[in-house]
Structure 1
Amino acid sequence: MTTPLVTSVSRDAEHRFSKRAVPEIVLLAGLGVEGDAHAGVTVQHRSRVAADPTQPNLRQVHLIQSELFDELAPQGFDVEPGGLGENVLTRGVDLLALPTGAVLRLGADAIVEITGLRNPCGQINRYRSGLLKAVLTTDDLGAAVRKAGVMGIVLTGGTVRTGDPIEVTLPALPHRPLERV
């Protein structure tokens, strides 16, 4: 079993699809990633701001498991850290299997509560043609399977660096499965 860890961190002050990988990011409680366009108490994603700018920001931090990139590579998709717009790239944690309300300690101090699944959109195909179909599939019953990561809110701020350990704490039972946010 792989020890859960942060494999890369990224941010971008502009509303672009991909983010730039950096040595470290600073998470701010209740806001998100310092210097990132999606940081804020209320929604920052353009389509959500257009619908209702007063909604709480449940998408302060975007996390993807690097195992997704391993899965995509044999399909011909070369995805680099930050390429899918994630702030934190992980290894050794099945993020998609976590329940709503799971808590991740990233490094020594930062704590993020998982709020739901990222809903991949057509912008992914502008990044890599055909990639949307690889990260938004269906299960045997026809239900959507979203593989483009999870979203969270910052409960406790702190600095997060590549190589930092990740500790997972599950919420009390019964667990609620992740839904798109």
Structure 2
Amino acid sequence: MTTAAPAPPVLVTHVCRVGELHEDAGAVGVTAIDKRPVDGPVQVGTYGVRGDVQADRKHHGGPEKALYAVDQAEADHWAGQLGAPVPPGGFGENLRLAGLAVDDAEIGERWRIGDVVEVEVTGPRTPCATFGRWLRQERWVRRYTEHGRPGAYLRVRTPGPVRAGDAVTVTHRPGHGVTVARWFTHHDPADAQALRTHASDAGWEMAEYLRPHVERAARPQTVR
């Protein structure tokens, strides 16, 4: 009788925050997408990693996008496509995780990081033109979008210290089946209704950046 190999641990491999602001051709004129790993424990709170900033605060940051998480498997995928490693923070992420398929998390799912911190998955990252300019790859935004696994934004429900090596545990999965990747690739009316029902029945606080897309998708479609 063979014994199944134990599942690999789910860990934070790197915690990242802005290393340097860079000039950018977009409307803001500057970008904080250059995230780099930090040593030792760092506090995370309502607005994310202490010492981190967002240049375009209309579209990035805030309590509902306090942290951006990417898993190592996706970084490895893109390293193969790009022909070069994707360093921690290379996609502008605050958390690089290993052993957890971030894009398969359900919207509203909660994780405990280390002993104290609890975060909630609020929705997918929408790749923007700044991201494309940062990577300097032709058709980058389209390529990243078509792959359909953009990583997830997180709300910090319980603040505290986070460090590389911290274990990550899924503490709550809503059960509606609408994952980050599923919603990102197709705003299905049934999925929109499932999110609305979860918000109504469970008292879940849907992210405001997500709400208009959910409401639009949930409207009855007019047949012409």
TM-score class, shorter:
0.7 to 0.9
Partner of 2:116: 109
Name the TM-score, length of structure 1 as normaliser: 0.79
- Match for 1:48 among 50, 53, 59? 59
Deviates more, 1:101-110 or 1:169-178: 169-178
Q: Greater helix percent: which structure?
A: 2
Question: Where do residues 93-104 of structure 1 align in structure 2 (5 Å cutoff)?
Answer: 93-104=100-111
Structure 1 gap segments, 5+ residues each: 39-43, 50-54, 139-144
Partner of 2:67: 61
Measured at CA, do residues 172 and 126 of structure 1 come closer, stay the same or move farther in structure 2, by a change above 3 Å?
closer
Amino acid at match of 1:111: E
Deviates more, 1:162-171 or 1:107-116: 162-171
What's the % identity of the aligned pairs?
A: 28
With CA pairs under 8 Å and 6+ residues apart, which has the higher RCO, 1 or 2?
A: 1
State the Cα RMSD in Å: 2.4
Q: Greater strand percent: which structure?
A: 1
Amino acid at match of 2:44: L
Measured at CA, do residues 176 and 45 of structure 1 come closer, stay the same or move farther in structure 2, by a change above 3 Å?
farther
Q: 1:60, 1:133 → 2: CA distance?
A: 25
Tell me, yes or no, if structure 1 residue 20 matches structure 2 residue 39. Answer: no
Q: 2:62, 2:94 → 1: CA distance?
A: 19
Name the TM-score, length of structure 2 as normaliser: 0.65
Question: Where do residues 146-161 of structure 1 align in structure 2 (5 Å cutoff)?
Answer: 147-161=149-163
- Match for 1:86 among 79, 85, 93? 93
Q: 1:81, 1:103 → 2: CA distance?
A: 23
Is contact 1:10–1:25 with CA below 8 Å preserved after alignment? no
Measured at CA, do residues 118 and 157 of structure 1 come closer, stay the same or move farther in structure 2, by a change above 3 Å?
same
Q: 1:127, 1:157 → 2: CA distance?
A: 30
Amino acid at match of 1:46: R
Structure 2 gap segments, 5+ residues each: 1-6, 22-30, 185-208, 210-224
User: Rg larger in 1 or in 2?
Assistant: 2
